[in-house]
């Protein structure tokens, strides 16, 4: 039996308007290459960095959200390495004295619940990007382009302790982290766009012998699904080695989307290869206690706080509260709709059901879908008063959205009013009885289930407009004869 040990190193791009140490714009995703650069972020001789205050605030907010202790005195360091996408030849980071340390997040996976310790959060800058011709790596490429837009884009690196024990937990943790960073507005959380990136460390321990495998680090994971998949694949590979009495090498591997396997990139570099030393061009970073207190007081509502409030204030089950709270736009829509309709649980059901399905199908946000909560209110009251069936309400929802027309108007236009008229229902049942005397006989011999057939026949004859409760009652009365 092996236990799995996983720790994550996560880079989150901060949503500041300008870069970490210069005035270039920071939202460079999909910009024309090399259009958001200056002497500072391209490392021209003599250009000096100036720290962006927003970066510090965002890092502190992330630290507070993750229950870290904040350092009032932290220091920037140089991490030295050579690569064409790093024109300065070093990255500015915080190695010895990171701004935040020793925090934790509470992780609920639905299967388990545990505390994941955060070892540190530090500020650093991103490097540029290379585009290789003909291949996706520099080796074997006939030529490479260099886009320095991303140089100097502010990041925080969040390092967890190795407290995760399954690939699934790692994925849920990444989702929790995304929700947390989004809730406080410091990072978009889009893994697909590289705004949130994760390196996953994994090792296996043999419970019988107490011996552990070497640790492997997986890079290049760019989606929540792949966090889980890459770790699952690596878990199997390590177990396979251990089963044969071998160990895996301590190395850095990359996840290959195509083969769904990891492959070796390089043996792991040692920290002292980077020759870290304090950045001489930046002063020590001093943050006043009052600033930290101010940010703590003004920290937006965190995902778990919102979940607790939704349960308490609206009486929602944990599951509903979790789904609704995980997207801030959906959460505010829910709150507005609950207020307007006075029916929070119905709102939750509709949002988690048809509304989110339509959002997915059309690839729209809740705002873009544009369903006025007043129309939900109208739908609910038409259902409650028996004017339309729930089925009709669901059927007309896309039309309400597309035509931006009130549900009442659509119901009227199509003549979708529920048939509560017993005569009409009776007529439909009598006809079905005539058409299928065999079913009548079956019912009378005690086969209760046949009742559904008659109710179905009524629904079909009335195109779903009959009141199902009435249809049920009347069918039973007529069949029992
Ligand atoms: P390194 O200095 O080699 O980068 P660190 O101690 O800084 O290693 O840890 C880097 C990451 O590896 C952290 O996220 C940590 O949780 C994780 N980690 C540490 N030990 C293990 C282990 N035995 N198995 C899996 N992950 C681990
Ligand atoms: Zn710049
Ligand atoms: Mg490390």
98 CA from centroid of ligand 3 (Å): 13
- Enumerate residues 6+ apart whose C-beta is below 8 A from 123: 20, 55, 56, 59, 76, 93, 94, 98, 99, 154, 155, 156
**Is 215 close to ligand 1, i.e. is its CB under 6 Å away?**
yes
**Is 199 close to ligand 1, i.e. is its CB under 6 Å away?**
no
87 CA from centroid of ligand 2 (Å): 12
Measured by CA distance, the residue closest to atom 15 of ligand 1 is 7
Measured by CA distance, the residue closest to atom 1 of ligand 1 is 271
Nearest 5 degrees, angle CA 160-CA 248-CA 209?
Answer: 85
pLDDT of residue 317: 94
Check whether 415 has a pLDDT greater than 90: no
Q: Do 429 and 478 meet the contact criterion of CB atoms below 8 Å apart? A: yes
Measured by CA distance, the residue closest to atom 7 of ligand 1 is 159
pLDDT band at 476 (very low <50, low <70, confident <90, very high): confident
Q: What are phi and psi of 156, to 5 degrees?
A: -115, 140
pLDDT digits (tens, 9 = 90+) for 33-81: 999 999 999 999 999 999 999 999 999 999 999 999 999 999 999 999 9
Sheet holding 277-278, edge to edge: 90-93, 77-80, 277-278
Q: CA-CA distance, 334 to 330, in Å (whole number)?
A: 6
Q: Which residues pair with 108 in a beta bridge?
A: 113
Task: Give the DSSP letter of residue 351.
Answer: I
Q: CA-CA distance, 445 to 136, in Å (whole number)?
A: 72
Q: CA-CA distance, 82 to 184, in Å (whole number)?
A: 35
426 CA from centroid of ligand 3 (Å): 75
Q: Do 82 and 91 meet the contact criterion of CB atoms below 8 Å apart? A: no
Q: CA-CA distance, 232 to 338, in Å (whole number)?
A: 41
Q: CA-CA distance, 278 to 100, in Å (whole number)?
A: 17
Q: Domains of the chain by range and CATH?
A: 2-290 (no CATH), 300-414 (no CATH), 422-480 (1.10.10.410)
Answer whether 0.85 is exceeded by the pTM: no
Which atom of ligand 1 is the closest one to the Cα of 163? Answer: 16
pLDDT digits (tens, 9 = 90+) for 326-356: 888 999 999 999 999 999 999 999 999 999 9
**Is 203 close to ligand 1, i.e. is its CB under 6 Å away?**
yes
Which atom of ligand 1 is the closest one to the Cα of 203? Answer: 24
Task: Give the DSSP letter of residue 95.
Answer: -
pLDDT digits (tens, 9 = 90+) for 262-311: 787 766 666 668 899 999 999 999 999 999 999 999 999 999 999 999 99
**Is 235 close to ligand 1, i.e. is its CB under 6 Å away?**
no
If you average pLDDT over residues 5-9, what whole number do you get?
97
Average pLDDT, rounded, for the chain: 90
Q: How far is CA 236 from the centre of its chain?
A: 26
Q: Which helix or strand (DSSP H or E) is residue 424 part of?
A: helix 422-435
């Amino acid at each position: 039996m092996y236990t799995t040990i996983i720790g994550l190193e996560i880079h989150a791009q901060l949503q500041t308007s300008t870069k970490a140490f210069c005035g270039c714009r920071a939202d460079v995703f999909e910009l024309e290459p090399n259009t958001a650069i200056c002497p500072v972020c391209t490392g021209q001789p003599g250009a000096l960095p100036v720290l962006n205050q927003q970066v510090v605030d965002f890092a502190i907010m992330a630290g507070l959200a993750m229950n870290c202790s904040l350092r009032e005195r932290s220091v920037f360091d140089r991490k030295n390495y050579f690569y064409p996408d790093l024109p300065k030849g070093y990255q500015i980071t915080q190695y010895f004295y990171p701004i935040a340390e020793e925090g934790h997040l509470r992780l609920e996976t639905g299967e388990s619940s545990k505390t994941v310790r955060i070892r540190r959060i530090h500020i650093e800058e991103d490097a540029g990007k290379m585009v290789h011709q003909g291949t996706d790596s520099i080796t074997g490429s006939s030529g490479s382009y260099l886009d320095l837009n991303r140089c100097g884009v502010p990041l925080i690196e969040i390092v967890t302790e190795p407290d995760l024990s399954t690939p699934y937990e790692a994925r849920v943790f990444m989702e929790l982290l995304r929700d947390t960073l989004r809730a406080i507005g410091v990072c978009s959380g889009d893994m697909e766009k590289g705004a949130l990136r994760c390196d996953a460390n994994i090792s296996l321990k043999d419970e019988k012998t107490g011996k552990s495998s070497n640790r492997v680090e997986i890079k290049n994971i760019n989606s929540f699904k792949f966090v889980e998949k890459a770790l699952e694949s690596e878990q199997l590979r390590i177990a396979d080695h251990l089963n044969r009495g071998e160990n895996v090498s301590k190395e850095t591997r990359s996840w290959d989307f195509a083969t769904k396997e990891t492959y070796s990139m390089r043996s792991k570099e040692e920290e002292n290869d980077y020759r870290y030393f304090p950045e001489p061009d930046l002063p020590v970073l001093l943050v006043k206690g009052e600033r930290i207190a101010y940010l703590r007081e003004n920290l937006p509502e965190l995902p778990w706080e919102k979940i607790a409030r939704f349960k308490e204030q609206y009486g929602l089950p944990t599951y509903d509260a979790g789904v609704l709270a995980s997207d801030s736009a959906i959460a505010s829509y829910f709150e507005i709709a609950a207020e307007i309709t006075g029916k929070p649980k119905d709102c939750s059901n509709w949002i988690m059901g048809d509304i989110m399905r339509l959002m997915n199908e059309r690839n729209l946000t809740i705002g873009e879908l544009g369903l006025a909560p007043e129309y939900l209110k109208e739908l609910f009251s038409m259902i409650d008063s028996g004017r339309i069936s729930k089925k009709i309400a669901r059927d007309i929802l896309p039309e309400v959205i597309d035509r931006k027309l009130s549900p009442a108007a659509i119901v009227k236009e199509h003549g979708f009013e529920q048939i509560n008229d017993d005569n009409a229902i009776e007529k439909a049942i009598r006809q079905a009885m005539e058409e299928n005397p065999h079913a009548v006989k079956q019912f009378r011999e005690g086969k209760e289930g046949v009742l559904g057939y008659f109710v179905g026949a009524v629904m079909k004859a009335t195109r779903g407009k009959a009141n199902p409760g009435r249809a049920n009652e009347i069918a039973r009365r007529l069949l029992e004869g």
